[in-house]
Chain A
Amino acid sequence: MKAPNFKYARAANVDEACALLERHGDDARILAGGQSLMPTLNMRLSSPSLLIDINRIEAMRGIAVDGDMIRVGALVRHVELAESVIVRRHLPLLSDAITHVAHPAVRNRGTFGGSIALADPAAELPACAVALGASFVLASRRGPRVVAAEQFFRGLYETDRRPDEILTEARIPAQKSGTRYGFAELARRQGDFAIVGLACIEAEALRLVFFGCEDRPRLAREAARANGIPAIQAALAADLKPMSNLQGSAATKLHLARVLAGRVVGSLKVVGA
């Protein structure tokens, strides 16, 4: 189908975007890569009165090293993440995960910030952000604030972002040399949304973050305290309350989460190796 009528504004900078959001709030939608928003418009699942196109805001681009933090602009496209030397060296978890995100034509447009702000429960990047201990910068006319990824995802497509705020940047601690990580997901077809997926970091503690299970990325706290793969798999019953959906029942998803935990924890890669 065709998108319903809406008005369109191209924001030249973050201040302009914030001013428009202050005025229009929830009646407006931010148009970044458009790879999820445009389908919902074309299918008429959503009918905002205004689209705020942020694609030309230069300040929201780029990947940079800032001490032991990596700053990823919200408008960084998936293809840029995939090709980034900085990401390959300092955030190899993201380099591995991004190959599972959709297909080349979608990766050429889709943005990091868009994936985070949409908070699809089966998406890869929100889970990676939680595993990596990222935080997000939200700008508004009231000034910027920073929210940790663990607090940001609140439910099904629900985040801590307020209607007048725009996600401008992620700040992600670099993975330290010698620490370990792993990523895997099960999907019917390469590039599809995950049935179940797992992003894992092992620095001081084991951080297992499952996606495609619950309404948001889920950090498995009990499993982190368990010793050895069988104990980790057993502990997942206490950590995960999977939602049944077309991709599988809750019991199937718990089973698949255990399978993934075994595969990923059993074959963690070393940063810098």
Chain B
Amino acid sequence: MNETVAISLSVNGQRVERTVKVRQHLVDFLRSELGLTGAHLGCEHGVCGACTVRVDGQIVRGCLMLAVQADGATVETIEGVTETREIADLQQEFVGRNAAQCGFCTPGMLLTAAELLQRGKPMNRDAIREFIGGNFCRCTGYQAIVDAIEAVLNRRLATKAQS
């Protein structure tokens, strides 16, 4: 029972070992300890989705998980996912369609869309909107974001069907 704990985890493929305050949440740890500022803090109570990161392959609210809870976990942020080029097509589509304006929501939006793409199931626009319903964007009105996700999903499904 401590107020600081030593943790060891994988972040974007690299082993990280630190001693953290138990009250520090995962995104503060990533931003202030590791300098990974891609995950943003908007509301800090689980509503806006700007802090979305991947833990053990699934998206989570980074502000609702303590860094100490990530001990032993595999964490991926937008920096890591960009480097692996897993969603390079989606990022290109966001640029091409102006699906980002201020960019604050974009890393979270991309990681949520990445989970949607991973499921590899056909989805109509309503279902896409529902899936990204936990990620707020205050600039775009969502139209271009849904356009981009829909285009990439359909393109990937078509490619898969051909192969």
14 contacts between A and B (CB under 8 A): A2-B28, A7-B2, A8-B22, A35-B61, A38-B25, A42-B63, A50-B1, A51-B22, A53-B69, A55-B69, A106-B61, A109-B60, A189-B133, A191-B133
Interface size of A in residues (CB-CB distance below 8 Å): 32
A103 at the interface (CB under 8 A from B): yes
Q: In chain A, residues 15-36, which have Cβ atoms closer than 8 Å to a Cβ of chain B?
A: 31, 34-35
Q: How distant is the Cα of A153 from the Cα of B133 in the complex, in angstroms? A: 30
Using A50-B1, A104-B59 as known contacts, say yes or no to A38 and B65 having CB atoms under 8 A apart.
yes
For the complex of A and B, 3 pairs with smallest distance between CB atoms:
A103-B134, A8-B22, A39-B45
With a cutoff of 8 Å between Cβ atoms, the chain B residues found around residue A50 in the complex are 1
B5 at the interface (CB under 8 A from A): yes
Interface residues of B (CB under 8 A from A): 1-3, 5, 22-23, 25, 28, 44-46, 49, 52, 58-61, 63-66, 68-69, 112, 115-116, 130-131, 133-135
Contact of A105 among B23, B61, B68 (CB under 8 A): B61
Max count, chain B CB within 10 A of own CB: residue among A34, A39, A103, A189: A103
Q: How distant is the Cα of A105 from the Cα of B5 in the complex, in angstroms? A: 26
- When C-beta atoms are compared, the residue in chain A nearest to B22 turns out to be A8
A203 at the interface (CB under 8 A from B): no
Max count, chain B CB within 10 A of own CB: residue among A7, A109, A191: A109
Q: How distant is the Cα of A105 from the Cα of B54 in the complex, in angstroms? A: 9
A251 at the interface (CB under 8 A from B): no
With a cutoff of 8 Å between Cβ atoms, the chain B residues found around residue A55 in the complex are 69
Q: How distant is the Cα of A191 from the Cα of B2 in the complex, in angstroms? A: 36
Q: How distant is the Cα of A53 from the Cα of B7 in the complex, in angstroms? A: 15
With a cutoff of 8 Å between Cβ atoms, the chain A residues found around residue B46 in the complex are 35, 38-39, 106
Q: How many Å from the CB of B161 to the closest CB on chain A?
A: 24
